[in-house]
Amino acid sequence: MSTIRIASFNVNSIKARLPRVLEWLRATKPDIALFQEIKCTEDTFPKLEIEDLGYNLAISGQKTYNGVAILSKFPLEDVTTALPGDDADDHARYIEAFVSMGKTPLRVASIYLPNGNPVESEKFPYKLAWMKRLRAHAKELLKLEEVMVLGGDYNVAPTNDDVYDPEIWANDALCRKESRAGYRAIVNLGLTDAYRALHSHGHAYTFWDYQAGAWQKDNGLRIDHLLLSPQAADRLEKSGIDKSERGKEKASDHVPVWCELTMKK
């Protein structure tokens, strides 16, 4: 048996954060890393620097906005670069791959769910519709009965325990009841929140805004999640949040979340 580490990290521009990202990869050595908001196209992604650390890459990029990627120490196969259900949706928000590794293969997805603000705009219905598409796709994937991790920036704080001030955020798209209901509908398919499964306490955040001294005041939200299939949840050993990354120079406004699974070689 061996243990693998899977992490999710909204890097908020891979080119702007590259020194921090490379430093984190060297220090924590995730076997698989799921990136969001790379904010670049595939041809401008810093492939050489990351491949030099031993990673295979799958990228769905977009100039200036969005963009997701999978980094893996193992071969990647069967790559899907868009969330099914809406051929007109050209946002680079979803990438999925089959990871070939020993006797226990793994399926992973990197997800950058729409923010949805302002809620009075068309962005909020787009978010809710996107969540319904994700639920439908996750339902089909679960039928495969694979070890699977759907990780990313879900832009949803699931409960009031995941928000530093629930009253202030009550009408924000990240905390609206519709957003939380959409998230629960996905989890209730039979998925497990890797962090919450092992850490019941609140005040554990993955995002702190750049404004109003949010980091210094610890005014954060937990909106980055690793959702595990039953087959992955059975192998869950550890999970955590790399909070210290937020305090570094030129840091992303998000920090990595991670879990460790026990797998057969």
pTM above 0.85, yes or no: yes
Tens digit of pLDDT at every position of the chain (265 positions): 899 999 999 999 999 999 999 999 999 999 999 999 999 999 999 999 999 999 999 999 999 999 999 999 999 999 999 999 999 999 999 999 999 987 888 999 999 999 999 999 999 999 999 999 999 999 999 999 999 999 999 999 999 999 999 999 999 999 999 999 999 999 999 999 999 999 998 889 999 999 989 999 999 999 999 999 999 999 999 999 999 999 999 999 999 999 999 997 6
Bridge-based pairing of strands 32-36 and 2-10 is: parallel
For the residues of 187-208, what is the DSSP string, one character each? HTTT-EEHHHHH---S---SEE
Asked whether 152 and 113 are in contact (CB, 8 A), the reply is yes
Minimal CA–CA distance to 158: which of 125, 185, 120, 119? 185
Task: Render 84-136 in DSSP notation, one character per residue.
Answer: TT-TT-----EEEEEE--TTS-EEEEEEE-----STTSTHHHHHHHHHHHHHH
CB 45 within 8 A of CB 38: yes
Burial letters 133-143, b for 16+ CB under 10 A, else e: ebbebbeebbe
